Amino acid sequence: MNEIIDKNIDFMDTKDFFKICLRTQDLKNPGSIKTYQSLGGYGQIAKILESKIDPQELINEIKISGLRGRGGAGFPTGIKWSFMPRDYDGTKYIVCNSDEGEPGTFKDRDIIRHNPHQLIEGMIIAAYIMNAQVGFNYIHGEIWEDYKFFEKALDDARKAGFLGKNILGSGFDFELHAVHGYGAYICGEETALIESIEGKKGQPRYKPPFPATYGIYGQPTNVNNTETFASIPWIIEHGGQAFMAHGVENSGGTKIFSVSGHVEKPGNYEIQLGMTFKQLLNEAGGVWKGRKLKAVIPGGPSTPVLPAEIIMDATLDYDGLSRLGSSVGAGSMIIMDDSTCMVKALKRLSYFFYEESCGQCTPCREGTGWVYRIINRIYNGKATLEDLQLLTDVSKKISGRTICALGDAAATPVLSFIKYFRNDFEDFIKHKKTVS
Amino acid sequence: MNEKLKKLINKEISKYPSDKKQSAVIAALAIMQNNRGWLSEEDISEVSKYLEMPEIAVLEVATFYNMFDLQPVGKYKISICTNISCMLRNSDEIVEHLKNKLKINFNEVTKDGKFCLKESECMGACGGAPLLTINNQKMYENLDIPKIDSLLKELK
Amino acid sequence: MVKVKINGKTIKVEKKSTIIEVADSNDIEIPRFCYHKKLSIAANCRMCLVEVKNFPKPLPACATYVSEGMEIFTKSKQTKACQQDVMEFLLINHPLDCPICDQGGECDLQDTAMSFGSPKSRYTEEKRVVLNKNLGPLVSTDLNRCIQCSRCVRFLQEVGGMQELGLIGRGEHAEISAYVEKSVESEISGNIIDLCPVGALTSKPFRYSARTWEMARKSTISPHDSLGSNIEAHVKDGNVMRILPKENEDINECWISDRDRFSYLGVNHDSRIKKPLVKQGNVLKEIDWEDALQIIESKLHPIRNNFKEDDIAFFGSDQLTLEEGFLLKKISEHFSSNQVNYNPKIHVNYVSNPHLNIKINEIESFDSVILIGSNLRDENPLILQRLRKMTLNNKKIDLIHYEDQDLQLQLDHKLIKPIEKIEKSILEILEIALDHKKAKKNQTTESGLAEKLKTQNVLILIGQDFVSRESILGYGEMLNQLVKKSSTSIGFLPTGANSVGLNQIFNDKNDVDNKSYKASITFNHEPEHDSIDEDLHKEIIKKSSFNILISAYQTKQDKSYDLILPSCSHFENEGSFVNLENKLQTFTQVIPPKHESKPLWKILRVLGNYVECDNFNYESCTAVKKDAVKGLLSNKNNNLELINKQSKNNNKIFKFSINNSDPMVRRSKALQDIEHLRSTR
Ligand SMILES: Cc1cc2nc3c(=O)[nH]c(=O)nc-3n(C[C@H](O)[C@H](O)[C@H](O)COP(=O)(O)O)c2cc1C
Ligand code: SF4
Ligand code: FES
C-alpha cells in the first residue's frame, strides 16, 4: 500500500499542465471549426469511417485509456459504452450532459465555447461506436449565449458533412441537436435529463432500468458528460496508453478543474490527473488577497469539504482524493480562505439543495428543507448544541434512501462541514457568530 | 401565437421524432417568454394546444424550471447568482447595492416597471463570479459596484 | 420461477414480480403510500424501503424485482429504521389533527404512523401551507395533508386517460393542482378520493357528514351500466351516506365511475313520490295504497274490462331487475299482450341477446380491439378503462363510428364517416377480410383494418348504436364467418344494468306498436330522456284511456297519467341484474323504503294478484328469482344470432349521455353540476 502511494507521489511531481479538452483555448478563434481542423480535428472520425474500424476495438482503446466519467461519478467510460445493446431495431440515442449546475462547476461551458468541435467529433465517434442515430447536447439554460454558439458550431459541422445522413459518404447517419434546460440543477442527473428532453419535469427515474435499456422514449440511451465526450478524439488519435500516461493509475488522462472562490485567478485549469493540489493552487495565483487557506471543496458540494491541513498534501486524482475522504467529483474546486464563515457557507449550500430538490421522494423533499431550516436557525442564533446532533441525524436519514443521488449530495456538505468545522458551528450557537 | 413564433417553435419541434412534439415544450415556453417577457396563462394554453399536450402538463413544466416567470418581471429581469462561489466573491454586496439602487427586494418589480430582481442558483459560470444575467440571455461577469452602476445606466 | 427468502422463509415466486407483490401475496406487511397495484410504479414515497442482503442501501420493495436467491428482511433493524425515518419526514409537514380530518379513522398515513412511526417528532419549524383548489363538484381538497405520492396524478393520466391533475412547482413547494381553475372532469375521477392515502382529496358531497365508524357497510350492485360494478353503500340513519367500490377483479377491479359513486345523491330528491297519486280532473291527489289497488282492479282486470290481445302496452326500463322483469312478463302474458318495450333505449330487433360473449377480464387478452359505434365514455367508462390499459401494454384499439369520439386513448385506426357510409365501410372491411373482395391498391383505413382481422387476434366490440339498426342484418352473417375462420371474437356492449337479463326474459316479445291501446303501464323511466321513441310513448298515452306510472320520482309528464304508484329507488330495492358478460348478480336492500314507496317486485306481485294472475303467490324476491333464472342462457355463444322481428323501426340512434342515463342520476346534484361544467367548456 505504502509503496504505491510513494510511487504515485514521485510520479506526480512530474505532472504538469497538459491540455486535451481545452487545447484550442489559447488559439485565435478557439471555437471555430477551422481552428479545430487546423489541429487535425475531425480527422479521427474520418479515419474511423474510412477504415470502418471495429467499434469493439475502439471501446478497448477507451478502456485502456482509463477515462472515467467526468460528470461526477467517475464511472469508467469504456465499460459504460459496452452496456449499450449492440443489436437493436429502433433508434438509439446518445446524450451529452452539459447541464452543469452544481455550484462551482463551469468547465463544460469552456469546452462548448472554446472547443465545441472536439465535443462534436467525440459524440460522432461515440455514436459510431454505440451505433446511435440521434444525439442531443443538453446545455444548462443559464449560459444562453454559449448555447447559441454551440448551435452555430453544429451548423458548421453539418455543413462540413460531419453530421446528418451518410456522413463523409460512409453510409453512417448521425444527427446531433442542441437543446437547453431552463433552470433546474436536477436535470444534470441523467434520468432527470432524459425526462426533460422528453418534455417533462426533470424528475429522476428510479433505476433500474438504466438508460442503456430504457432511456429517451424508452429507447437505449447513453449519457456522458461533456468533458468525457470531448476527450474521445484525442484518445483515438494517440491511443489509450498515451492518455493513460497523462494521468496516474486508475485516473487516466487530463481533467479540468474549475477553480473558484477565494483564489487570485479563478478559472478552468486542465491538469494531468495526479498533480498536487499545491501546484494547482499556485497556478491559480494562490489564495485571494494573500489570505490563509481555510478549506477546499475539491469536486463540487456533493464531495466532502477538506480543511487546509488535509488538502494541502493532496494529489488530484480519483484515488488521491478518495484516500483523503473526498472525491474528484466534477472537479469543481471551491477555495475558502480564513475569512469564510462556514455556517454561512453551509447555509447557502443547504439552501441550494433544498431549492433544487425535485421533490418527488420523501427524504429529500422533506429532509433538505428541514436541514436548511436548522442551519438557518443556527445562523440566526436560535439553536442549541443538540441541534447539531439533529442536523447530522437528519442528513444521515436522507442519505442512501432517495431515488437519485441528490439526496446523498445534500447530506455530504452537512456531514463534512460539521465533521471538520464543528467549532465554527458551536461558536455560532454559543456566541451567535463565528469567533475568528 | 404569431407566425414568427411558430417558426421558431417548429424549428425546435424538428429536433424530435414527429410523434414527440411535446419534447419541445421547454424551448417553446422559452420562446413565448422571450416574446412577452413572462408567461401568461394564454401563452401556456397556446403552447399546450400547439404541442397537443394537456395544459396542466405544460404548467407543470413552466413551474418546475426556475427561469420561467409566471408573473410580469418588468423590462429587465436581473437574475443574480448568490450561490457559494459568487457568495465567496461578495455577491452579497452586489445584491445589497442593487436592492438599494432599485429600491426593490428580490422578486419585486421597480415602480416604473423596468427592473425586477431575482436571486438565482448557480449558473455554471463561477469562474466569472460574481455574475448576473439579464432576461435569461445576456450574462455579465466579474461584477463590482462600478460595473453595476454603468450596466444600470446602459439598460434603457 | 425463482426462489427468494423473506424474513428467513424460502418461497418460490414468479420471476417478473416485485418484492412488494411477493410480500402482498404472502401476507407479509410492507407499508406503502405511492405504490398501487393498478398504477405505474413511482417509488417516490420511500415508505416501502426494505433491507436486502448484499445491497449496501435499502431498496424500495415496490420497484425492486426479485431475483434468484434474494434475501429480504421486512422486519430487520435497518428496515424498521427506514420506516420510522420516512414516517418522521412525512409527518413534519403533515397536520396532526386527525380528529378533525375527514379521513380520520380510515387514513393510511394515520394507520402507518401508528404501526411503523416513531412516537414523537423532533421538527419544530413551521409547517408548509398549501392553498386548497377547487377541483369541481365531486372532489374536495385539503392540500396541507397531501404527501405528494402522485397517485391521483398517475390515476387520471393512466386510467382516466387524460392528465387533469399535476404536481406543479417543485421540491417542498410542489402542490397538486388542476390547470387554472379547471375542475376534474373524467368520468371516473372519484376514484382519486379512494386512492389518496391521506385526507387531501375527499368526497365533496360526503364531506363531514359522517365518521367512518358511524356507518354500516352494505354491499350492492350499481344499477347504472351493464358492467354491474360491485359497490358498498355506507349507511347511517337509513340514508346512504356514500358509495365506495367493492373490489372485484373480474368486473370493476377496484374502480367505479363517478355515476356509480354519486348517484345516491338523487335518492332523497324532492321529486320522490311519497304516496300513490290519482288524477282527478287536472290535479293529482294523494291516496292510500289500498285505494290505488282498488282502482287497478277495477280499471285493469282483464276479464272484467274485457281486454283482448294486445290491449295493454308496457314500457319497461333497462334497470328492471330480473325478478321484476319476470313478474312483468307473467302479467303481460296474463293480458295476452306481446308488446313490451322492456328496453326503451334500443330496438333489439335484429340480434338475439346481444352481450359480450366473453368474460370481461378476457377483453385484455386480445391483441387488438375494434370498437364499432359505441360512446364508451358515457356508456361504460370502466370497460373503456380496460381498453386504455391495453394501449399502455402496446395493444391496439381502433374506432369505427359515425361521429368523432374522444376516447382519451391512443387509437391505432380511426374511421369516422356519416352513418350510412360507415355501414358501407364495415361491409367493405369484412368483405376484404373474408377475401370476398380485393383491397384497393392504395392502402385505406378499411384495408388496414381488414388486414388486422386476417392476421391478429381481434375482438370486435359493437355498441348499442349499431344493434338498433337494420343494417346489421347485412353484415352480421359475415361477422359469423369471420369468427369461424379466424381468431376474431364479437361482443356487444349493451348499456342498461339489466339489458342482458331482460333480453332473455322478453326475447319473444315485440316492440310496442303505434296503435290504440286500452291501457298502458310505464315503469321507472322518463321517456323524454330514456326512450329512443319518446313520441310513440306520448301518442300511446294520449290514445289509451287508462295510464299508470310506477316510479320513484315524479316526472314532467305526470299529468298524463291517471294513476301513479311510488316505487323504491335502487338502494331500497332488492333483486338481480345480469351484466354484459351474462353474469347474474343479486343484491339486497341497503336502506328502508322512503315514504310510502314499495319495491317494484312487490308492487308487481300485488298488482298481479289484483288482476288475478295465476301462480302469483311469491313470498319473497328470492322465490321469484328461483323461477326467473330458469329461462336464462348459461352458455356463452360466440356467434351472433340474427333475428328479424319485423317490427317497425325508424333506425333512430339513441343519444347516450352518462349523467342522463336514468332518473336517479338525473337527480344527483353533484353529477348534474359536473355535467353542466362539462357542457359549458
Ligand atoms: C443531482 C445530480 C446532478 C448531476 N449533475 C450533472 C451535471 O451537471 N453534469 C454531468 O455531466 N453529470 C451530472 N450528474 C451525473 C449524471 O447523472 C451522470 O452520471 C453523468 O452525466 C454521466 O456522465 P459521465 O459518465 O461521463 O460522468 C449529476 C448527478 C446528480 C445525482
Ligand atoms: S433525491 Fe431529491 S432530487 Fe433526487 S429524485 Fe429524490 S426528491 Fe428528486
Ligand atoms: S411504495 Fe415504494 S416507494 Fe412508495
What is residue C639's predicted lDDT score, i.e. its pLDDT? 72
CA distance C71 to C69: 6
Q: Which of C319, C369, C339, C646 minimizes the C-alpha distance to C499?
A: C319
What is residue C283's predicted lDDT score, i.e. its pLDDT? 93
Burial class (CB in 10 A: 0-12, 13-18, 19+), C196: buried
User: Over the stretch C449-467, which tens digit does the pLDDT of each residue have?
Assistant: 999 999 999 999 999 889 8
User: Over the stretch A317-376, which tens digit does the pLDDT of each residue have?
Assistant: 999 999 999 999 999 999 999 999 999 999 999 999 999 999 999 999 999 999 999 999
**Average confidence (pLDDT) over C572-592:** 97
> CB B56 to CB C169 under 8 A?
no
Mean pLDDT score of chain A, rounded to an integer? 94
Nearest chain B residue (CA) to A108: B124
Say which residue, A404 or A434, is predicted with more confidence: A404
**Average confidence (pLDDT) over A220-248:** 97
Give the residue whose CA is nearest to atom 23 of ligand 1. A224
Q: Where in chain C are all domains bearing CATH 3.40.228.10? A: 360-493
Say which residue, A86 or C603, is predicted with more confidence: C603
Q: Report the top-level CATH class of C122-266.
A: alpha beta
The Cβ of residue A171 has, within 10 Å, a number of other Cβ atoms equal to 10
Look at residue B118 and tell me whether its pLDDT is greater than 70: yes
Q: Is the reported ipTM for this assembly greater than 0.90? A: yes
Specify the amino acid at residue C199. G
Return the C-alpha torsion angle C472, C474, C477, C481, nearest 10: -110
Side-chain half-sphere of C604: how many Cα atoms within 13 Å? Answer: 29
What is residue C346's predicted lDDT score, i.e. its pLDDT? 87
What is residue A3's predicted lDDT score, i.e. its pLDDT? 37
What is residue A1's predicted lDDT score, i.e. its pLDDT? 33
Specify the amino acid at residue C2. V
Grid coordinates standing for B131? 455574475
CB within 8 Å of chain C, chain B residues 103-142: none
Helices A362-379 and A342-356: angle between axes, nearest 10 degrees:
150
| Structural contact between residues C629 and C586, judged by C-beta atoms closer than 8 angstroms | no
Q: Which residues of C touch A368 (CB under 8 A)?
A: 171-172
The Cβ of residue C20 has, within 10 Å, a number of other Cβ atoms equal to 22
Kindly list the structural domains of chain B, giving each domain's residue range(s) and its CATH number in brackets, ordered by start: 3-64 (1.10.10), 76-155 (3.40.30.10)
* C506: confidence class by pLDDT, cuts 50, 70, 90: very high
* A283: confidence class by pLDDT, cuts 50, 70, 90: very high
User: Over the stretch B54-99, which tens digit does the pLDDT of each residue have?
Assistant: 999 999 999 999 999 999 999 999 999 999 999 999 999 999 999 9
CA distance C438 to C436: 7
**Average confidence (pLDDT) over C609-616:** 93
Ligand 1 geometric centre to CA of A223 (Å): 8
Topology of the domain covering C277-349+499-631: Rossmann fold (3.40.50)
**Average confidence (pLDDT) over A159-168:** 97
Q: Which H or E run contains A258? A: strand A254-261
* Neighbors of chain C with 3 or more C-beta pairs under 8 Å: A, B
**Average confidence (pLDDT) over C245-255:** 98
What is residue A4's predicted lDDT score, i.e. its pLDDT? 36
Could you check whether the bond before residue A204 is cis, i.e. omega within 30 degrees of 0? no
> CB A266 to CB B85 under 8 A?
yes
Look at residue A432 and tell me whether its pLDDT is greater than 90: no
What is residue A9's predicted lDDT score, i.e. its pLDDT? 41
Q: Where in chain C are all domains bearing CATH 3.10.20.740? A: 2-90
Cβ–ligand 2 distance for A192 under 6 Å, the answer no
Angle at A73 between CA A68 and CA A78, to 5 degrees: 30
| Structural contact between residues B143 and B94, judged by C-beta atoms closer than 8 angstroms | yes
What is residue A434's predicted lDDT score, i.e. its pLDDT? 63
| Structural contact between residues C294 and C568, judged by C-beta atoms closer than 8 angstroms | no
Q: What is the DSSP letter of C157?
A: I
Ligand 2 geometric centre to CA of A68 (Å): 24
CB within 8 Å of chain A, chain C residues 366-425: none
Look at residue C440 and tell me whether its pLDDT is greater than 90: no
Q: Which residues of C touch B41 (CB under 8 A)?
A: 180
Grid coordinates standing for C406? 374522444
Say which residue, A435 or C40, is predicted with more confidence: C40
Grid coordinates standing for B45? 394554453
Q: Which residues, in sequence order, are bridge partners of residue C370?
A: C398, C460
* C653: confidence class by pLDDT, cuts 50, 70, 90: confident
What is residue C118's predicted lDDT score, i.e. its pLDDT? 80
Q: Report the top-level CATH class of C360-493.
A: alpha beta
Look at residue C596 and tell me whether its pLDDT is greater than 80: yes
Q: Which residues contact C203 (CB under 8 A, 6 or more apart)?
A: C138, C139, C140, C190, C193, C242, C261
Cβ of residue B42 closer than 8 Å to a chain C Cβ: no
What is residue C508's predicted lDDT score, i.e. its pLDDT? 86
Mean pLDDT score of chain C, rounded to an integer? 94
Cβ of residue B120 closer than 8 Å to a chain A Cβ: yes
Q: Which residues of C87-108 are buried (b: 16+ CB within 10 A; e: fewer)?
A: bbbbbbbbbeeeeebbbeeebb
Alpha helices in C486-533 (DSSP H): 499-505, 527-530
Cβ–ligand 1 distance for A228 under 6 Å, the answer yes
What is residue C638's predicted lDDT score, i.e. its pLDDT? 66
**Average confidence (pLDDT) over C268-283:** 96
What is residue C557's predicted lDDT score, i.e. its pLDDT? 85
What is residue C637's predicted lDDT score, i.e. its pLDDT? 63
Helices C77-92 and C108-116: angle between axes, nearest 10 degrees:
140
| Structural contact between residues C23 and C71, judged by C-beta atoms closer than 8 angstroms | no
Q: Give the ligand 2 atom nearest the CA of A359.
A: 7
Q: What is the DSSP letter of C681?
A: -
Task: For C412-436, give the secondary structure using H, E and C.
Answer: CCEEECCHHHHHHHHHHHHHHHCCC
Q: What percent of chain A has pLDDT over 70?
A: 96
CA distance A262 to C377: 65
Which of 3.10.20.740, 3.30.160.20, 1.10.10.10, 3.40.50.10470 would CATH assign to domain C2-90?
A: 3.10.20.740
* C634: confidence class by pLDDT, cuts 50, 70, 90: low
